[in-house]
Amino acid sequence: MASAGRVLQTNALVLQRTAFGEADWIVSLFTQDLGRVSALARGARKSQRRFAGGLEAFHDLLVQLKSSRSDDLLQLADAKITHPRHRLASNLVAMQTAGKGLNWLRRTLAPKLVDAQAWQLIQRWLDVLDTSPPSKESEAEARLAEFGLKLLSVLGWSLVFDKCVRCNKPCPPNGSAYVSPRDGGVVCRACGGHGPVLTAALRHAMSRASQLGFGELPTDQGASALHIVERALLSHAGVE
């Protein structure tokens, strides 16, 4: 980290805000150039002009951060919105969906570790939610599950859907299979597979969603896919 007092400028997203004292925020940021950091925004709660609304979630920000003697908490000197996502921010279902995704990032990304893949992923996903905000819960679950599958891949926790993760035996193309989020994917019966069963259609849809763009998961499969993603995140990172 830079020496104390130096001002650093980077693109950022707000992951969380926590009230501190009578007028300040402690802001958790995912930044393009510094990774996940925490910063003190002095006077941000007391003054309407302070940061000019630049501490809202979902929008891309350009922030100026001042390093301190202790690198654990930076000082937020300025924050400006560079890419607003107004449709997302005015849609309750979209906001709730995006909020869960941002919370997953906050809970899984290591502090101060720059992750270009994670940055690009969250940018693309938020843009999808802004361009086509989900209108119902089933659609929101499908879009969140897709993000989760891609995030697992970025973090090195990819789920395998085409073969047993224990013996590498391929799954029959049209066959159902047990899935173990803790083990990282499909487990055949011979290897002790048990628990949730994925239909062939859901296996193929989740495999496509983990590798391709957004919109691969049908809305009627979103809830089932999201359940698997949440179990995988819980197994690897304790995230609920």
Distance from C-alpha of 141 to C-alpha of 225, rounded to nearest angstrom: 8
In this prediction, residues 160-169 reach a mean pLDDT of: 95
78 and 118 both lie in a single domain? no
46 and 150 both lie in a single domain? no
pTM (two decimals): 0.92
65 and 104 both lie in a single domain? no
Cβ atoms of residues 34 and 65 within 8 Å: yes
In this prediction, residues 208-221 reach a mean pLDDT of: 91
In the chain, the percentage of residues whose pLDDT exceeds 90 is 76
Domain for residue 113, yes or no? yes
Tell which wins on pLDDT, 154 or 194: 154
Whichever domain contains 226, its CATH number is 1.20.1440.120
Which residue, of 85, 106, 124, is where some domain finishes?
Answer: 85
75 and 98 both lie in a single domain? no
SS (H, E, C) the chain: CCCCCCEEEEEEEEEEEEEECCCEEEEEEEECCCEEEEEEECCCCCCCCHHHHCCCCCCEEEEEEECCCCCCCEEEEEEEEEECCHHHHCCHHHHHHHHHHHHHHHHHCCECCCCHHHHHHHHHHHHHHHHCCCCCHHHHHHHHHHHHHHHHHHCCCCCECCECCCCCCECCCCCCEEEECCCCEEECHHHCCCCCEECHHHHHHHHHHHHCCCCCCCHHHHHHHHHHHHHHHHHHHCCC
Which residue, of 28, 56, 85, is where some domain finishes?
Answer: 85
107 and 140 both lie in a single domain? yes
pLDDT at 52 (0 to 100): 64
Domain for residue 185, yes or no? yes
Give the number of domains in the chain: 2
167 and 215 both lie in a single domain? yes
Domain for residue 56, yes or no? yes
Distance from C-alpha of 216 to C-alpha of 152, rounded to nearest angstrom: 16
Domain for residue 1, yes or no? no
Domain for residue 54, yes or no? yes
Q: Tell me the pLDDT tens digit for each residue of 54-103.
A: 788 999 999 999 987 666 789 999 999 999 999 999 999 999 999 999 99
Instruction: Please name the residues in contact with 102: beta carbons below 8 A apart, sequence gap of 6 or more.
Output: 13, 14, 15, 16, 30, 57, 58, 122
How would residue 22 be classed by pLDDT, with cut points 50, 70 and 90?
confident
Burial class (CB in 10 A: 0-12, 13-18, 19+), 97: buried
20 and 131 both lie in a single domain? no
98 and 110 both lie in a single domain? yes
Domain for residue 126, yes or no? yes
Which of 46-50, 73-77, 179-183, 204-208 has the least mean pLDDT? 46-50
Q: Which residue has the tokens 């993000």?
A: 147
Domain for residue 217, yes or no? yes
- Structural domain including 149 reads 87-237
Which of 36-40, 70-74, 232-236 has the least mean pLDDT? 70-74
Domain for residue 190, yes or no? yes
- pLDDT of 230 > 60? The answer is yes
Per-chain mean pLDDT for the chain = 91
Which residue, of 53, 70, 85, is where some domain finishes?
Answer: 85
- pLDDT of 4 > 70? The answer is no
Residues in the chain: 240
Instruction: Please name the residues in contact with 132: beta carbons below 8 A apart, sequence gap of 6 or more.
Output: none
pLDDT at 1 (0 to 100): 45
In this prediction, residues 163-169 reach a mean pLDDT of: 95
Which of 50-59, 102-111, 145-154 has the least mean pLDDT? 50-59
100 and 80 both lie in a single domain? no
Hey, what amino acid is at 230?
Answer: E
